[in-house]
Amino acid sequence: MAMIVANMAWGLMSPFVKSVVVNSNIDAWTIVAYRVIGATLAFWTASLFIPKERIPFKDLKWLVLGALFGIILNQGVFVLGVSYTSPINASIVTTTLPIIAMIISAFYLKEPVTWKKIGGIIIGATGAIVIILNSSSGKNFGELGMKGILLCFAAQFSYAIYFVFFKKIISRYHSITIMKWMFLFSSFIYLPLTWSNITTIDYTNMPVSVIGQIGFIVLGSTFFSYMMIPIAQKYLRPTVATMYNNVQPVVAAVAAVFMQIDSFGWPKVFAILLVFSGVYLVTTSKAKEDIAKDKAG
């Protein structure tokens, strides 16, 4: 449920970000800065209402690396990639996340690569791609922008590393405690890079709708979503957790229909069924412990 809610919020973020960029002088880099800095303030405020947890310096060093792979490289490199290629190409690249996570998990966590898991990933990715290709924004690919595609792929690789390698340390602490430190470290990177953009924007003439959309991007698609991720990491294998990434284009497609910027037809219905069928297959695939029990029994 945590991963479903997080990816639903991320799916809603796509049309909101597009609307903000179109209806204001705020660029994508500045939106990333709003997300990181705003979430930092929100997590540190929320931490006042939970039992205080002390994190040893040796674990804080790991959280710096977690922030690097899970926030800084993931968000920053992806935004840079989108600037070189089309959003539709970038969306297709995001469907590779569970595949990368499965490969890394197989080597690092010794998670079994089963035919059921492979089939679920392929079915889910196919459904996500069908949704993207049948959206109004997906009918014209234009230039491939290989540089942008490679950058978007690098962002997925970075996020997969975060899911696999930082599962154990994240399981030790409250999700708010984890994220308040990770976003604080990320702010130290993004704030100097985007300070001039943030301070030169005319906020007095900004439309109320844009302010509301930015508020949702910061609080809904960043603060709330990233609070859900550590919860999911505690209970789900990395391949299973990242599989829910394919929920994003489903939500984005449905949101686009309600915003009257896209239409809904049978291809999308079929694609949605494929996505959730894939998620079901990967979720119900056997973990390493299950296979060991079968052999023992």
3-state SS, 40-55, equals: HHHHHHHHHHCCCCCC
Q: What is the pLDDT of residues 251-277, one digit of tens each?
A: 877 776 776 665 667 776 787 788 778
Identify the CA nearest to 135 among candidates 270, 261, 8: 261
Instruction: Please list, residue by residue across 74-95, b when 16 or more beta carbons sit within 10 angstroms of its beta carbon and e when fewer do.
Output: bbbbbbbbbebbbbbbbbbbbb
- Residue-number span of the structural domain to which 268 is assigned: 2-296
pLDDT of residue 110: 79
Decide: residue 294, CB within 10 A, 0-12 exposed, 13-18 middle, 19+ buried: exposed
Q: At residue 4, what is the residue type?
A: I
Instruction: Compute the distance between CA of residue 78 and CA of residue 154 in angstroms, rounded to an integer.
Output: 8
Helix (H) / strand (E) containing 216 = helix 208-218
Q: What is the pTM of this model?
A: 0.78
The total domain count for the chain is: 1
Instruction: Compute the distance between CA of residue 125 and CA of residue 138 in angstroms, rounded to an integer.
Output: 16
Identify the CA nearest to 52 among candidates 171, 224, 187, 177: 177
Instruction: Compute the distance between CA of residue 243 and CA of residue 127 in angstroms, rounded to an integer.
Output: 12
Instruction: Please list, residue by residue across 33-50, b when 16 or more beta carbons sit within 10 angstroms of its beta carbon and e when fewer do.
Output: bbbbbbbbebbeebbeee
Q: What is the pLDDT of residues 28-60, one digit of tens each?
A: 788 889 999 999 999 999 999 999 999 998 899
CB 251 within 8 A of CB 6: no
Q: 171: helix, coil or strand?
A: coil
CB 73 within 8 A of CB 254: no
Low-confidence stretches of the chain (pLDDT < 70) are 83, 85-92, 131-132, 134-145, 256, 259-264, 268, 286-297
Q: What is the DSSP letter of 251?
A: H
Instruction: Compute the distance between CA of residue 1 and CA of residue 39 in angstroms, rounded to an integer.
Output: 21
pLDDT of residue 140: 46
The HSE-up count of residue 199 (CA atoms within 13 Å, CB side) is: 6
